[in-house]
């Protein structure tokens, strides 16, 4: 209980700082790291708030040292495609294992009981 | 402009083959929504018949018992007493043990087991003067092992439906942690059920003892006693099954 | 990418897509609540909040399955491309429905007891390692956090600044979320909702998802493997006649990303085969309006120089290409995976 309260307090603090940061970031910072955000409307800026609040330490670093990354040759997605395949060879086994454990291993608390003297 | 060989570009009009495919996909999706939602709603477990009548508060009169849980013994039988929200009524009835009182609250009832949800205002509990306190008559049925689920009696008697099972476990743990009487529900082959209010071996409140076992399949070992038509288990031990 | 960001670059297709998706969500929840209140009536009625919590929860699970199915479907048949086009809106909607489920469950089960509702649901759903005692809310919360991160970073701004490579890895977290949700169900509500219907639904869902992904994955694997061992330098891409006008074939040299060799009105061009937007396979695209067009989201590049048409400022690398005796030769050098 105490552990979870601490975790929630830390998470809440992280997101609270993130929320304050996000306001500054979407109004000023976003266009510093990405020229396409210059002159963007409020719809876009509002939409960027949750992500900015969640990823604020990384964005703060980028904002402090803006560096326009120009990628002429986007990286191949071969690794992703292979991971998709590998992942889906493992996931069904996990699903069956979890369901079997939960279904066969779990005793229905609302099921039939027995009374022994 | 869309390509004559059927190449789809999102910001252009879809080629006929793609449009046909999407139309079929939407029909399948709609069908999936209706059948999937309907079947999964239909397949839910029946929560059982229970009443929580919050339309009008009622008056109850009888002898108040403080231990193991706040209860009112009346001519119609015994009522457990809890507060509004997920709280037991221990603080409200303190010092009124074995007195003749009048309570105002809402009725919860399942299978003949009844509970009063005491109103929050100070006037909801009144001592009726000059009346004798009833005596406790107990019957002992000896030591048994009972298999079933420990529920928080307030939700199970009608405050939530379903008020049992694993999905309800966090709520049951909160309720019982706040003093609501824990109750063991034992299901029988024929569909019948038995209900036992859980107490400690010393016939005190068992809230702390049962707290981590709520909503799970358990086996309770203890002595069954009956008081005023209500069965209690004076628990010696609880095990997960 | 370029041109100023907007919240959503709406077009007719996206509007229709979102309207249909919203209609399906409304239909699902309405049917669930309707059937639930018709089957369980009177004193045996299921509490309204429970009905809503369950309707939203099951709806989110079904939506996640649909979202996960679209990817491999689009790789298996190009006809499914319109479903892929606006998939991220569907993903964001899935998160919103899951959030509604979680918020309602947290408030209903965790409130009215003087404690922090979040602490209640996160710590009181179990405390043991057996199926009955497993804290089932925890995997549900983990899945919700993954869905949040995906929804929050779904805009192209994040794609551009995280880079397609990292962005894709983050979004693959959805597979972990899917497994967590199976755990949330199997170790949670299914411990006491024992109807075989739910067991069948989960297993059929997992079967469909893995079947589609494995079929699409094996197909891509075979295609990738075919070209994987070609050496660098001038590479024979095949007969010119084998490339239909306006289409491309993919050439891959060892240590190099695939190259899309396009035949178009102006001749033959070889262009870096990975789209600058999300890494889409440019060789599977077409020439539309004189531009090489990505099959995923319609990003365009001029075949001669790899430049995106104005106002966009992306540029993809191009390669020297020549036709010798009816065979297309492409020069691929350096290392640019």
Q: Where are the alpha helices (DSSP H) in C111-172?
A: 117-123, 137-152, 156-162, 164-171
Give the closest residue to B83 by CA, choosing from C113, C58, C60, C120: C113
User: pLDDT (tens digit, 9 = 90+) per residue, B135-160?
Assistant: 566 788 889 999 999 999 999 999 99
Per-residue pLDDT of chain A (117 residues; tens, 9 = 90+): 578 889 999 999 999 999 999 999 999 999 998 888 999 999 999 999 999 999 999 999 999 986 655 554 677 777 777 888 899 999 999 999 999 999 888 887 776 655 554
How far apart (Å, rounded) are the C-alpha atoms in residues B173 and B168?
A: 9
Sign of CA dihedral C90, B40, C178, C296: negative
Burial B41-63 (b: 16+ CB within 10 A, else e): bebbbebbebebeeeebeebebb
How far apart (Å, rounded) are the C-alpha atoms in residues C40 and B100?
A: 40
Tokens read off for C186: 């199997």
* Cis? peptide before B68, omega within 30° of 0: yes
Give the closest residue to B215 by CA, choosing from A2, C127, C52, A101: C127
Contact between C62 and C93 (Cβ < 8 Å): no
Range of the domain at B7: 1-44
List all chains that touch chain A, counting a touch as 3 or more CB pairs closer than 8 Å.
B, C
Residue B3 contacts C, CB cutoff 8 Å: yes
Count of domains for chain B:
3
For tokens 């390509």, the residue is B3
Q: Do A73 and C272 touch (CB under 8 A)?
A: yes
Chain C residue closest in CA terms to B39: C197
User: Which residues of chain C from 13 to 42 reach within 8 Å of chain B, CB to CB?
Assistant: 13-14, 20, 24, 27-36, 39-40, 42
Q: Do A112 and B187 touch (CB under 8 A)?
A: yes
B interface with A, Cβ–Cβ < 8 A, is 45, 142-149, 164-166, 185-189, 194, 215-218, 241
Q: What is the pLDDT of residue C226?
A: 63
Chain C residue closest in CA terms to B13: C13
User: pLDDT (tens digit, 9 = 90+) per residue, C301-328?
Assistant: 999 899 999 888 888 989 999 999 999 9
Q: Do A73 and C155 touch (CB under 8 A)?
A: no
CA angle B67, B71, B73 (to 5 degrees): 115
**Same domain, yes or no: B186 and B110:** no
Mean pLDDT of B25-52: 96
| Residue B95 placed within a domain | yes
Range of the domain at A19: 2-64
**Same domain, yes or no: B226 and B171:** yes
Q: What is the pLDDT of residue B136?
A: 62
Q: Do B142 and A117 touch (CB under 8 A)?
A: yes
Mean pLDDT of C129-139: 94
**Same domain, yes or no: B157 and B102:** no
How far apart (Å, rounded) are the C-alpha atoms in residues B21 and B112?
A: 58
Give the closest residue to A86 by CA, choosing from C89, C218, B208, B79: C218
CATH code of the domain made up of C233-332:
2.102.10.10
Q: Chain B: give the shortest CA distance to residue C233, in Å.
A: 32
Task: Say if the ipTM goes beyond 0.90.
Answer: yes
Residues of chain C within CATH 2.102.10.10 domain(s) are 233-332
User: pLDDT (tens digit, 9 = 90+) per residue, C53-103?
Assistant: 999 999 999 999 999 999 999 989 989 999 998 999 999 999 999 999 999
Tokens read off for A105: 């291993």
Tokens read off for A49: 């708030």
Q: Do B39 and C66 touch (CB under 8 A)?
A: no
Listed residues B44, B61, B77: the one ending a domain: B44
Chain C residue closest in CA terms to B52: C43
If phi over 0 gives left and psi between -120 and 50 gives alpha, with beta otherwise, what is residue C95?
Answer: alpha
Name the DSSP class of C45. P
User: Which residues of chain C from 67 to 126 reach within 8 Å of chain B, CB to CB?
Assistant: 77-83, 85-86, 108-110, 112-115, 120-121, 124-126
**Same domain, yes or no: B9 and B40:** yes
Mean pLDDT of B33-48: 96
Stretch among B49-53, C118-122, C164-168 having the lowest mean pLDDT: C164-168
Q: What is the pLDDT of residue C128?
A: 87
How far apart (Å, rounded) are the C-alpha atoms in residues C185 and B167?
A: 9
**The CATH number of the domain where B73 resides is what?**
2.40.50
Q: Which residues pair with B81 in a beta bridge?
A: B116
Give the closest residue to C256 by CA, choosing from C296, C289, C227: C227
Q: Chain B: give the shortest CA distance to residue A106, in Å.
A: 8
Residue C280 contacts B, CB cutoff 8 Å: no
Residues of A in Cβ contact (< 8 Å) with C178: 91
Q: How many CA atoms lie within 13 A of B202 on its CB side?
A: 3
Pick from A76-80, B130-134, C28-32 the range whose average pLDDT is largest.
Answer: C28-32
| Residue A109 placed within a domain | no
Name the DSSP class of B166. G
Q: What is the DSSP string of C229-274?
A: TPPSEEEEEEEGGGS-TT-EEEE--TTB--EEEEEETTEEEEEESB
Burial A20-41 (b: 16+ CB within 10 A, else e): ebbeebbeebbbebbebbeebe
Q: Chain A: give the shortest CA distance to residue B199, in Å.
A: 18
User: pLDDT (tens digit, 9 = 90+) per residue, C248-283?
Assistant: 998 888 778 889 999 999 899 999 999 988 888 899
Q: Coil, helix or strand for B141?
A: strand
User: Model pTM?
Assistant: 0.93
Give the closest residue to A46 by CA, choosing from A64, A26, A63: A26
How far apart (Å, rounded) are the C-alpha atoms in residues C87 and C129?
A: 37
Residues of B in Cβ contact (< 8 Å) with A115: 144-147, 186, 194
Residues of B in Cβ contact (< 8 Å) with C40: 44, 46-47
User: pLDDT (tens digit, 9 = 90+) per residue, B43-82?
Assistant: 999 999 999 999 999 999 999 999 899 999 998 899 999 9
Nearest CB to B174; choose among C39, C124, C293: C124
Residue B134 contacts C, CB cutoff 8 Å: no
Residues of B in Cβ contact (< 8 Å) with A106: 217
| Residue A83 placed within a domain | no
Q: Chain B: give the shortest CA distance to residue A44, in Å.
A: 20
| Residue A21 placed within a domain | yes
User: pLDDT (tens digit, 9 = 90+) per residue, C218-231?
Assistant: 988 887 766 555 66
What number of helices (H) and strands (E) belong to chain C? 10, 10
User: pLDDT (tens digit, 9 = 90+) per residue, B161-217?
Assistant: 999 999 999 999 999 999 999 999 998 877 789 999 999 999 999 999 999 999 999
Q: Which DSSP helix (H) or strand (E) runs through C67?
A: helix C48-76
Q: Do A78 and C224 touch (CB under 8 A)?
A: yes
Q: Chain B: give the shortest CA distance to residue C98, in Å.
A: 16
**Same domain, yes or no: B159 and B181:** yes
Count of domains for chain A:
1
Residue C4 contacts B, CB cutoff 8 Å: no
Listed residues B127, B158, B177: the one ending a domain: B127
List all chains that touch chain B, counting a touch as 3 or more CB pairs closer than 8 Å.
A, C
Nearest CB to A109; choose among B142, B194, B216: B216
Q: What is the pLDDT of residue B4?
A: 46
How far apart (Å, rounded) are the C-alpha atoms in residues B163 and B79?
A: 19
Q: How many CB pairs under 8 A join B and C?
A: 207
């Amino acid at each position: 209980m105490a552990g979870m309260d601490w975790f929630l307090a830390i998470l809440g603090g992280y997101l609270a700082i993130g929320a304050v940061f996000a306001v500054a970031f979407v109004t000023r910072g976003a266009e510093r790291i990405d020229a396409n955000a210059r002159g963007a409307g409020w719809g876009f800026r509002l939409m960027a708030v949750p992500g900015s609040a969640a990823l604020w330490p990384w964005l703060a670093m980028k904002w402090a040292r803006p560096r326009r990354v120009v990628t002429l040759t986007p990286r191949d997605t071969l690794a992703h495609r292979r991971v998709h395949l590998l992942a889906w060879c493992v996931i069904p086994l996990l699903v069956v294992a979890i369901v079997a454990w939960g279904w066969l291993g779990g005793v229905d608390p609302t099921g039939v009981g027995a009374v022994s003297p | 402009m869309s390509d004559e060989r059927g190449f789809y570009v999102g910001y252009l009009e879809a080629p006929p083959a793609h449009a046909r495919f999407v139309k079929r996909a939407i029909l399948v999706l709609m069908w999936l929504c209706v059948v999937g939602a309907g079947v999964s709603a239909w397949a839910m477990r029946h929560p059982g018949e229970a009443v929580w009548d919050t339309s009008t508060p009622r008056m109850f009169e009888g002898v108040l018992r403080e231990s193991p849980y706040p209860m009112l013994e009346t001519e119609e039988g015994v009522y457990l007493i809890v507060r509004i929200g997920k709280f037991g009524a221990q603080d409200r009835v303190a010092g009124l043990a074995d007195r003749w009182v009048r309570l105002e609250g809402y009725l919860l009832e399942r299978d003949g087991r009844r509970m009063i949800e005491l109103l929050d205002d100070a006037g909801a509990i009144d001592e009726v003067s000059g009346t004798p306190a009833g005596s406790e008559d107990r019957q002992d049925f000896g030591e048994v092992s009972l298999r079933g689920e420990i529920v928080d009696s307030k939700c199970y008697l009608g405050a939530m439906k379903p008020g049992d099972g694993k999905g309800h476990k966090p709520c049951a743990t909160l309720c019982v942690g706040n003093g609501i009487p824990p109750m063991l529900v034992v299901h029988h082959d024929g569909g019948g059920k038995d209900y036992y209010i859980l107490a400690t071996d010393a016939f005190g409140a068992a809230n702390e003892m049962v707290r981590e076992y709520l909503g799970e399949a358990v086996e309770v070992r203890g002595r069954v006693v009956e008081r005023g038509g209500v069965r209690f288990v004076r628990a010696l031990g609880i095990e997960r099954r | 990418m370029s041109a100023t960001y907007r919240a959503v670059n709406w077009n007719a297709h996206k509007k229709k897509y979102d309207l249909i998706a919203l209609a399906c969500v409304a239909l699902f929840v309405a049917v669930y609540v309707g059937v639930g209140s018709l089957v369980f009536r009177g004193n045996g009625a299921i509490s309204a909040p429970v009905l809503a919590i369950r309707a939203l929860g099951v709806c989110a699970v079904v939506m996640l399955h649909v979202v996960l199915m679209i990817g491999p479907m689009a790789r298996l048949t190009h006809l499914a491309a319109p479903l892929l086009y606006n998939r991220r809106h569907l993903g964001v909607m899935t998160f919103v429905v899951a959030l509604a489920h979680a918020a309602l469950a947290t408030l209903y089960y965790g409130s009215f007891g003087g404690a922090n509702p979040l602490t209640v649901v996160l710590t009181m759903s179990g405390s043991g390692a057996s199926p009955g005692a497993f804290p089932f809310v925890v995997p549900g919360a983990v899945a919700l956090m993954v869905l949040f991160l995906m929804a929050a970073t779904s805009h192209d701004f994040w794609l551009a600044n995280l880079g397609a490579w990292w962005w894709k890895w983050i979004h693959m977290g959805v597979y972990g979320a899917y497994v967590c949700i199976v755990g949330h169900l199997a170790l949670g509500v299914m411990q006491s909702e024992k109807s075989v219907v739910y067991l069948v639904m989960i297993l059929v869902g997992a079967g469909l998802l893995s079947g589609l992904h494995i079929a699409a994955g094996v197909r891509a694997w075979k295609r990738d493997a075919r070209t994987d061992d070609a050496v660098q330098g001038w590479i024979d891409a095949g007969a010119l006649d084998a490339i239909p006008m306006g289409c491309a074939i993919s050439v891959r040299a060892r240590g190099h990303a695939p190259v899309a060799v396009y035949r178009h009105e102006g001749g033959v061009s070889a262009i870096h085969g990975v789209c600058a937007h999300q890494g889409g396979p440019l060789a599977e695209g077409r020439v539309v309006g004189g531009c090489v067009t990505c099959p995923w989201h319609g990003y365009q590049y001029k075949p001669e120089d790899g430049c995106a048409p104005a106002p966009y400022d992306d540029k993809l690398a191009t390669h020297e290409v020549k036709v010798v005796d009816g065979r297309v030769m492409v020069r691929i050098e350096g290392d640019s995976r």
